[in-house]
Amino acid sequence: MKKKLISMLLSATMVAALLSGCGGASGSGSADAKASTAAPAADTAASTAAPAGDAAASTAAPAADGAGASGHTYAIVTKSAGNPYNEREAAGFQEVIEAAGGTCIVQNPESATADAQISVIQSLISQGVDSIAIAANDANALASVCQEAIDAGIKVLTLDSDVNSAVRATFCNQAGVQEVGQALVDAVYDLTGGEGQYAILSATSQATNQNAWIEAMKKIQEGDSKYSKLELVEVAYGDDEPQKSTDQTQALLQNYPDLKVICAPTTVGIAAAAKVLQDQGSAVKLTGLGLPSEMAEYIGADDKHSCPYMFLWNPIDLGKLAGYASIALVDGKMTGAVGDSFEAGDMELSPYTLTELADGSGSEVILGPPFQFNPDNIAEWKEVY
């Protein structure tokens, strides 16, 4: 217990330092990102597993074996500025790059749109960076600019949300699509008592990861009679904007008086919905994917809390995974082909091996399974991220 928890608390401190060290690039929509020049940081990001273990926590960890990031520039393009989840991904990415001696550029587009990402990616191409890791806002709209980067000799990969697999090397996936879909539909089944109406509050209608998880939920429900008494009444889109997500939640409550559960597979959406439900004392329950630090006050097993439990993974670790993968691609230690593997410092499942996407179109590397946050563990995890 002590080892993991101490490591997580150290990671939280590291994240704060890294976020402040991004300078003008982090949190900015400007196309002219500033390269980070902070000193290499110790690798102490939290594990995706539950806190466990009694050994003393390590204060540092090695970079990927043989990684030579010095002299190279690695960029990460998040979905948008002001998104806490994205900020933590970027912090993990930056930690790995700088620990290996590389230069890190963090670009946060002004809005969660493909056009905003295209603008900053084009700027990065003109700067001649060595790699770009993208959390895509649209799978297809970014295809042209990703190909432009590849043609310029830049290694392109994705994390969190994918693009067309033909225009990137690999996808750093937070969890398997089927595993996320199963966890969410089972939570809906549990919280509805196995029957009744539920709604989904998603991010944008083009978000690759959101759409894949929702589609998996639908297929699981349709393919098993166990879920036959569940009724999905609407998939609403809050566009990962707090106010729009709030408005969509209120509309769901008004339009469906018999609604039992809202499932929000987006950290922005679930936080907005949680506040609406709890402030109104609604009997509608909530589950989905959220940040522990943002959701702690809403998680509880009684009627005073809107969210009995939720799921996520560690976005810091997802950013770290993309950092290690970026270094391996630039070093030529992998190409992105299925079966390639790479070292990822002290991350729990290192070395990671690239597996085939479900549709056979390309490769991905999966961070690990989704983890449940509930009243028993939220107090520990809210201090981590």
Terminal-to-terminal C-alpha distance of the chain: 17
- Which residues does residue 155 pair with via DSSP β-bridges, in sequence order? 131
Here the contacts of 56-60 (C-beta below 8 Å, separation 24 or greater) are 56/2, 56/3, 56/6, 57/2, 57/3, 57/6, 57/7, 57/10, 58/7, 58/346, 59/10
Whether 373 shows a pLDDT value over 80: the answer reads yes
Half-sphere exposure of 208 (CA within 13 A, CB side): 22
**CATH class of the domain whose range is 177-312:** alpha beta
Q: Are 259 and 197 in contact (CB under 8 A)?
A: yes
pLDDT score for 317: 95
pLDDT at residue 128 is higher than 90:
yes
More confident residue, 273 or 385: 273
Q: What is the per-residue pLDDT across 107-126, written as a single tens digit (0 to 9) for each?
A: 999 999 999 999 999 999 99
User: What six digits make up the tokens of 340?
Assistant: 């390639």
The DSSP result for 274-286, as a single string, is: HHHHHHHT-S-EE
Q: How far apart are alpha carbons 162 and 170 in whole angstroms? A: 9
Q: DSSP string covering 310-332, please?
A: EEE--HHHHHHHHHHHHHHHHHT
pLDDT above 70 coverage of the chain, percent: 82
Dig out the tokens for 70 from the structure.
Answer: 């010095």
Rounded to the nearest integer, the mean pLDDT of the chain is 85
Kind of pairing, strands 196-202 and 73-77?
Answer: unpaired
Provide DSSP, 54-85: -SPPPS----STT---TT-EEEEE-S-TT-HH
Q: How far apart are CA 318 and CA 86, in angstroms?
A: 10
pLDDT of residue 358: 85
pLDDT at 37 over 60: no
Residue owning tokens 């990415």? 93
Q: Which residues, other chains included, contact 13 with Cβ-Cβ below 8 Å and sequence gap of 6+? A: none
Long-range contacts: 5-8, Cβ < 8 Å, 24+? 5/51, 5/380, 6/56, 6/57, 7/44, 7/46, 7/47, 7/57, 7/58, 8/46, 8/47, 8/51, 8/380, 8/381, 8/383, 8/384
Confidence of residue 6 (pLDDT cuts 50, 70, 90): very low
- The average pLDDT across 1-20 equals 40
What CATH architecture is 2-175+314-373? 3-Layer(aba) Sandwich (3.40)
3-state secondary structure of 362: coil
Q: Is the pLDDT of residue 17 over 60?
A: no
- List Cβ neighbours of 311 (8 Å cut-off, separation of 6 or more): 180, 183, 184, 187, 287, 288, 289, 370, 371, 372, 373
pLDDT in tens, 180-207: 999 999 999 999 999 999 999 999 999 9
- Locate the domains of the chain by residue range: 2-175+314-373, 177-312
Alpha carbons within 13 A on the beta-carbon side of 264: 34
Percent of the chain with pLDDT over 90: 78
For 232-248, the pLDDT digits (tens) are 999 999 999 999 999 99
pTM score: 0.74
pLDDT higher than threshold 70 for residue 68: no
pLDDT at residue 49 greater than cutoff 60: no
Same fold, 2-175+314-373 and 177-312: yes
Which of these, 73, 51, 32, 75, lies nearest to 319 by C-alpha position? 75
Is the pLDDT at 58 greater than 70? The verdict is: no
**In the prediction, which pLDDT does 23 show?**
32
pLDDT band at 18 (very low <50, low <70, confident <90, very high): very low
Task: Output the six-digit token pair for 170.
Answer: 């690999």
Confidence of residue 384 (pLDDT cuts 50, 70, 90): confident
Mean pLDDT of 338-342: 98
Which of the residue ranges 26-35, 145-154, 308-317, 319-328 would you say has the lowest mean pLDDT?
Answer: 26-35
| Bridge partner residues of 196 (DSSP) | 230
- Residue 158: what are its φ and ψ, rounded to 5°? -125, 160
Predicted confidence band at 35 (pLDDT cuts at 50, 70, 90)? very low
* Residue 54 scores a pLDDT above 50: no
Residue type, 288: G
383/187: higher pLDDT: 187
Confidence label for 214 from pLDDT (cuts 50, 70 and 90): very high
Asked whether the predicted pLDDT for residue 36 surpasses 80, the reply is no
